[in-house]
Amino acid sequence: MSIPKVDLANPIYHNNDAARDYLETLLWPDGPTCPGCNAKGNRITKLKGKSTRPGVYKCKDCRKPFTVTIGTVMERSKVALCKWALAAQLMASSKKGMSALQLQRMIGTNYETAWFLFHRLRDAGH
């Protein structure tokens, strides 16, 4: 049995917009869903404009803004989504596990960021 190879050149590991689009298709296969009231379809609007950060939606029912990271380990994190995707892939594909120092070297961040990602991703499995 052949194990499929991971393409680390995939844009989701290097581009925040590609990572966000990928996460949205994974979490919302039928389109955005409000995490507060579970509204879908035409009840959700994508916010656009210079002052709005990318990937923000607004629910017309509960009137709250939300993103794909709400309710995940990535919530309230300033770390780029592509770093999250790369760290998750590297940790999941590591045969014997890895240290935060190794993760730091592989994703190119400082130790504190690598430690933060490492522990958030580990806690997600429990």
pLDDT at 80: 96
Give the C-alpha separation, 123 to 76, whole Å.
16
pLDDT at 5: 78
Give the C-alpha separation, 115 to 126, whole Å.
17
Low-confidence ranges of the chain (pLDDT < 50): none
Q: Which residues pair with 59 in a beta bridge?
A: 44
Mark out the alpha helices in 1-126 (DSSP H runs).
Answer: 16-27, 81-93, 100-107, 111-124
Number of residues that this document lists for the chain: 126
Q: Is 68 exposed, middle or buried (0-12, 13-18, 19+ CB in 10 A)?
A: buried
Which residue, among 15, 109, 117, 22, has the nearest Cα to 73 in the 3D structure?
117
pLDDT at 85: 96
pLDDT at 73: 94
pLDDT at 2: 65
